[in-house]
Amino acid sequence: MRKLTRITALVFALCFCAAAMTACGDSDTDKAVNETSKSASADDIKEEDLDAALDKLEKDTAEELEKEKQEAAESAAAAAESEAEPVVEEIKYEATEEIKNASFRSGYIQIGDTVFRNGGYITVADFVEKYGDKYDMSEIHLDEYLTPEEQKNSFVPSLTDTRITLEVSYGKVHAEENERVQIKDAIVSSVSIKDDAEGLCYYPTGVYAMDYDTAKSCIIDMGLEEIKEVGFTVLDNDAYIEQTDNFYTDIDGDEENLYGIIPKYFYIFQFDTSTLKGTKIYIDKLWL
């Protein structure tokens, strides 16, 4: 580019000199040389100015192109990130009438907007059919088998709320010796939420936690007997222990399950020792 510019400038200079000589007629040699020298000097100055202007233009253009390239890259990256991580409005859940009216003896639990029942009341096949439109059941392989009395846990994420993943425990507790149990025929013993949090989970009477006084009244109203020994045996039906920061309960269910027995729920009603405010309720374990 610069070479072409300089050639153009030289041609322009020669043409200018020729025109000057024609216009002046038969001037003497010294005058012609002097005029030629002046033209050459002027042309050199013009060429230097032109080169400087071209250099500046090239620099400015390069900087502008680099800036545009960088902005385009940043814009593309932001768009890709936006597509990869869509912003979803947080879903709010309220306790349903079903869980509000439920007893702790029922084994019901509400996760998200769905009520499940703990205690061995549904087969895995029926569970998948009933809740498959709301949860990803791909981790539950209905055609596979379990060893006798094996309890398997599968994680089942919600299809609509990334905060919710169920932990589903199933098997056949009272399987015969060497019985091979197909997963579809296994019985769901418990359903819980992987990462428990207030607002995502509700227990019977429509609560996530109970203050000390409320929990104690609820336990007494259920007819549970207070015992002082730490720990329970199968004989400790409908009993509770008051511990430092919780009530540990042994509550009989209210209906026979698929095994033909009444399940036992070991609920923990947890509270803050300094304020006596409830912090959490959960099922510690089940006896089927």
Cβ neighbours, 10 Å, residue 163: 15
String of DSSP letters for 105-121? TTTEEEETTEEEE-SS-
What is the domain range of residue 42? 2-84
Please indicate, yes or no, whether residues 237 and 173 belong to a single structural domain of this protein: yes
Q: How far apart are CA 90 and CA 83, in angstroms?
A: 18
Task: Please say which residue of 55, 84, 113 terminates a domain.
Answer: 84
- Does any domain span residue 228? yes
pLDDT at 223: 95
- Does any domain span residue 186? yes
Average pLDDT of the chain, as a whole number: 83
Q: How far apart are CA 42 and CA 35, in angstroms?
A: 11
Please indicate, yes or no, whether residues 66 and 104 belong to a single structural domain of this protein: no
Identify the burial level of 93 via C-beta atoms within 10 angstroms of its C-beta, where 0-12 means exposed, 13-18 middle and 19 or more buried: middle
3-state secondary structure of 57: helix
Task: Please say which residue of 60, 84, 108 terminates a domain.
Answer: 84
Does 90 have pLDDT greater than 60?
A: yes
More confident residue, 41 or 104: 104
- Does any domain span residue 114? yes
- Does any domain span residue 106? yes
Query: Tens digit of pLDDT for each residue in 159-209?
Result: 999 999 999 999 998 888 888 999 999 999 999 999 888 899 999 999 999
Q: How far apart are CA 202 and CA 101, in angstroms?
A: 12
Please indicate, yes or no, whether residues 13 and 69 belong to a single structural domain of this protein: yes
Among positive and negative, which fits the CA dihedral 10, 13, 19, 25? Answer: negative
Please indicate, yes or no, whether residues 59 and 112 belong to a single structural domain of this protein: no
| pTM greater than the 0.75 cutoff | no
Please indicate, yes or no, whether residues 104 and 12 belong to a single structural domain of this protein: no
Please indicate, yes or no, whether residues 7 and 78 belong to a single structural domain of this protein: yes
Please indicate, yes or no, whether residues 111 and 238 belong to a single structural domain of this protein: yes
What is the domain count for the chain?
2
